[in-house]
Amino acid sequence: MSRLAVTIEGQTFEIELELGSQPGPGFTVLVDGTPVEVVLPDWASPPNGKDTLIIVDGRPYEVTVDPELRWVKSSQGIYPLELRDLELKALQVHAGDGRVKAPIPGQIVLVLVSPGQLVRAGQPLLVLEAMKMENEIRAPLDGLVKAVNVSAGQVVPLGQVLVEIE
């Protein structure tokens, strides 16, 4: 089950869906815990900057989704869109010794700390982009940043040590 936080025009929804379970146009997602039936009649081609028909609980909607996933357009207007992977907390890889590793392969978008800086557990250290979603990588513990092993723009593999905290 994948969990996403989807924010549309300032309102956030928690979406849970099973990726890759059954191929086909219809599936069920949980929106804030409530089951919602979704049908993508043209499911073979994803909504990628073109008008797409989506049927939600039997009601049709024609939408256009930005290929960069920054906005969605409907007959009511264009709305800012933000996606955040809620599974990253569960996937966060650290060795318990202060080494923070890449939980997924991706590109470093922003480095928020520098060596010698004090950080608190849960504080954002950097932003990692993967699958067109920006994910904050957070400190697993309180401490002093010993090393920052990456820079903005760098592509990192799964498990690479990003930041060391002592």
Domain residue spans in the chain? 2-85, 93-165
> How many other CB atoms are there within 10 angstroms of residue 131's CB atom?
11
Global pTM value = 0.50
**Mind giving me the DSSP string for 128-147?**
EEETTEEEEEE-SSSEEEEE
In order along its 166 residues, the chain shows pLDDT tens digits of 678 888 888 888 988 877 555 556 788 889 999 999 988 776 555 555 678 888 899 999 898 887 767 788 888 899 888 777 776 544 444 445 788 888 888 899 999 999 999 999 888 999 998 877 888 888 888 899 999 999 999 999 888 899 999 8
Q: What does the radius of gyration of the chain's CA atoms come to, in whole angstroms?
A: 19
CATH, range 2-85: 3.30.700.30
Alpha carbons 76 and 62: distance in angstroms, whole number: 10
> How many other CB atoms are there within 10 angstroms of residue 14's CB atom?
14
The domains spanning 2-85 and 93-165 adopt the same CATH topology: no
Q: What strand order describes the sheet that includes 106-111?
A: 133-138, 124-130, 106-111, 155-156
End-to-end Cα distance, the chain: 34
Q: Which fold has domain 93-165?
A: OB fold (Dihydrolipoamide Acetyltransferase, E2P) (2.40.50)
Name the residue with tokens 């060795």.
95
